[in-house]
Structure 1
Amino acid sequence: MEKIIEVRGIEKSYVKRKTKEIISAVNNVTFNVYRGEVLGLLGPNGAGKTSTIKMICGLLKADAGTISINGLDINTQRLKALRHISAVLEGNRNLYWRLTVRENLEYFAGNRGFSRKEVAPQVEKLLEQFHLKHKENELVNGLSRGMQQKLAIAVTLLANTDVILLDEPTLGLDVEISYELREILKNIVKDEKRTIIISSHDMPVVQELCDRTVIINKGTVIIDEKVENLLNLFDTKAYAIKIAGSLNMKLKQQMIQRFPLSSFESGEHQTVVTVNLEKSEDIYGLFDIFRSEGVVVESIDRTSIDFEQVFMQIVKGEKRFEMA
């Protein structure tokens, strides 16, 4: 596959204002982004993910290492390199609030060198695609957060860059708008084959949209693997166990300590325990816990876990999984 972005050994440190202590935020991060793929760039808060994103977008300069976009080094050919990427960054105002929806689309297209006439068909398509046609003449500052977020992504698509970076695209949105936006993005991925980098804590977005994920923790890459492979790896060891009655807090804490991804769903007469076992023989340890507390097991079934559970297991365990 053709590389569209190459990140090689980038590092970034900060100095605390009060103590003058040097904090290493990014340490030797290396990964590729391939043309036409959807990459999830993930990490817990403070992991170095945001600094990495800002360096890719040219908002921060790396202390060491290189970043190239479409073969152009972002340090030595910054303006040319950044013509190939557009971004919606969480926490930044990506729109002009005193312009209408349509005016924002036309204005930012103009910034990229496109005339109003050139982009007119695409503007109409995006207004329909993002369900914004009925709002086209309303000022942005009067729109809901969900509408603003949809418009910001539409503006990014209108730039026609090789790469689109979406930082927390569903953050702060209600369930209905979040789902709608996921469906829109899925259709864009399917129909337009764009290269997209998604940074998100909304794991259904990652699971539904991303081909591959790079997970950063404590400033380093701990996973670079296809989402499907990670789900398959953990899926082989996931079980749903129905037990009679309820579990007391002591037993729940004991299980969580031994099996960190344990979850519990209590009903009127039974409890369903979902557990992920690293090794097949761990099931004997699980039943030892049940036996010691006199727990009655009614059934046990293989089940599947979602990507949020996979992400938490990787980050908490900080393991580098060897994929077959």
Structure 2
Amino acid sequence: MEKMIEVHAIEKKYVKRKTNEIITAVNNVSFDVYRGEVLGLLGPNGAGKTSTIKMICGLLQADAGTITINGLDIQKSRLKALRHISAVLEGNRNLYWRLTVRENLEYFAGNRGLSRKEVAYQVNKLVEQFQLKEKENELVNGLSRGMQQKLAIAVALLANTEVILLDEPTLGLDVEISYELREILKTIVKEEQRTVIISSHDMPVVQDLCHRTVIINKGTVVVDEKVENLLKLFETKAYSVKLDGVLSVSQQEQLHQRFPLSSYESSSHEATVAVNLERSEDIYELFDLFKTEGTLVESIDRTTIDFEQVFMQIMKGEKQHAMV
């Protein structure tokens, strides 16, 4: 597959104003994005994800490493490289509030050197596609957040760049608008074969749209894998065990020590253990733990897992690893 973006060993450090302490936000991050791919770029708050996004968009300069877009080094050929990417960054809407929906689309097309006549068909198509027809002559500052977000994405698409970067595209939207936006993006990805990078805390968006995910934590890449592979990996390991009785404090300590990613919930007479078993034979060790105090197993089932659970398990695993 053809590489559209190559991020190689980038680093970014900041200096705290009051203490002059040097903080490493991004440390030796590398990954590729392929033409026509939808990549999820994820990470908890403070992980270095936002700095990485800004470096890809040319808003920050890396202290070390390289970023190329369509073969162009962003530091050596910044303007040429950035012609291949458009972005909608969370908190930085690419819109003029005192222009109407249609005027925004035509204005930003003009910034790219295109006349109204040249973009008329595409503007009409985007207005219909994003269900903005009834609002096309209204000022942006009078629109709902959902309508503004849809217009911001439409403006980015109108640029006809090979790469679209969407930072938290569904943040703050209600369920209906979020679902509608996901369906629109799925159609665009399928029909236009754009390369899309999505940064989101909305895991259904990632599971629904992304082919692959790169997860950054504490400034480094901890996962670079296809979404379907991660779901399969965790699904084969995830079990829910219902107990006829509760675990003692000692058993609970042993459970969390031996199976760090496990969880335990109990009521007065019964309990449920959710556990990931890395090896098939680990089931015997788990049952031995129950056997020590005669805790009876009522049922054991494979757990249906979604990508939010996968993400939380990965982050929990990273935290446990850091404590060792």
TM-score by length of 1: 0.89
Secondary structure, counterpart of 1:308 in structure 2 = helix
CA distance in 1, matches of 2:289, 2:120: 66
Change (3 A) 1:9 1:266: same
Q: How does 1:136-151 map to 2 (within 5 A)?
A: 136-151=136-151
- Do 2:261 and 2:317's aligned partners in 1 also have CA atoms closer than 8 Å? no
CA distance in 2, matches of 1:257, 1:176: 42
- Do 2:246 and 2:295's aligned partners in 1 also have CA atoms closer than 8 Å? no
1:225 corresponds in structure 2 to 225
TM-score by length of 2: 0.89
Change (3 A) 1:293 1:177: farther
Secondary structure, counterpart of 1:54 in structure 2 = helix
Q: Report whether the alignment pairs 1:80 with 2:65.
A: no
Q: What's the CA shift string for 1:100-138, capped at 9, x where partnerless? A: 111111111111111111111111111111111111111
1:322 corresponds in structure 2 to none
Q: Which deviates more, 77-86 or 225-234? A: 225-234
1:3 corresponds in structure 2 to 3
2:238 corresponds in structure 1 to 238
Secondary structure, counterpart of 1:9 in structure 2 = strand
- Do 1:216 and 1:222's aligned partners in 2 also have CA atoms closer than 8 Å? yes
Offset at residue 311 of structure 1 (A): 1.6
Offset at residue 273 of structure 1 (A): 4.8
Secondary structure, counterpart of 2:10 in structure 1 = strand
Q: Report whether the alignment pairs 1:315 with 2:315.
A: yes
Residue 276 of structure 1 aligns with an amino acid whose one-letter code is N
Q: What's the CA shift string for 1:133-159, capped at 9, x where partnerless? A: 111111111111111111111111111
Q: CA RMSD in A?
A: 2.6
2:126 corresponds in structure 1 to 126
CA distance in 2, matches of 1:199, 1:318: 20
Secondary structure, counterpart of 1:318 in structure 2 = helix
Structure 1: stretches of 5+ with no match in the other structure: 320-324
CA distance in 2, matches of 1:120, 1:270: 65
Offset at residue 93 of structure 1 (A): 2.7
1:162 corresponds in structure 2 to 162
Secondary structure, counterpart of 2:5 in structure 1 = strand
Residue 27 of structure 2 aligns with an amino acid whose one-letter code is N
- Do 1:261 and 1:309's aligned partners in 2 also have CA atoms closer than 8 Å? no
Secondary structure, counterpart of 2:154 in structure 1 = helix
Offset at residue 293 of structure 1 (A): 6.3
Q: What's the CA shift string for 1:236-291, capped at 9, x where partnerless? A: 11123344588899987875665455467899x97665432223233234334544
Q: How does 1:12-27 map to 2 (within 5 A)?
A: 12-27=12-27
Count of aligned positions:
319
Offset at residue 208 of structure 1 (A): 1.2
Q: How does 1:1-324 map to 2 (within 5 A)?
A: 1-244=1-244, 259-262=259-262, 273-291=273-291, 295-318=295-318
CA distance in 2, matches of 1:176, 1:262: 34
Q: Which deviates more, 227-236 or 60-69? A: 227-236
Residue 11 of structure 1 aligns with an amino acid whose one-letter code is E
Offset at residue 231 of structure 1 (A): 1.4
CA distance in 2, matches of 1:248, 1:261: 19
Q: What's the CA shift string for 1:13-72, capped at 9, x where partnerless? A: 000000000111111111111101011111111111110100000000011111111111
Change (3 A) 1:257 1:118: farther
Offset at residue 211 of structure 1 (A): 0.9
Change (3 A) 1:295 1:146: farther
CA distance in 2, matches of 1:271, 1:137: 59
CA distance in 1, matches of 2:233, 2:55: 32
Residue 190 of structure 2 aligns with an amino acid whose one-letter code is K
Change (3 A) 1:51 1:295: same
Q: Which deviates more, 222-231 or 286-295? A: 286-295
- Do 1:101 and 1:135's aligned partners in 2 also have CA atoms closer than 8 Å? yes
- Do 2:260 and 2:317's aligned partners in 1 also have CA atoms closer than 8 Å? no
CA distance in 2, matches of 1:196, 1:63: 25
User: Percent of counterpart pairs with the same letter?
Assistant: 81
Residue 183 of structure 1 aligns with an amino acid whose one-letter code is E
Q: What's the CA shift string for 1:161-195, capped at 9, x where partnerless? A: 01000011111111221111111111111111110
- Do 2:246 and 2:271's aligned partners in 1 also have CA atoms closer than 8 Å? yes
CA distance in 1, matches of 2:289, 2:142: 57
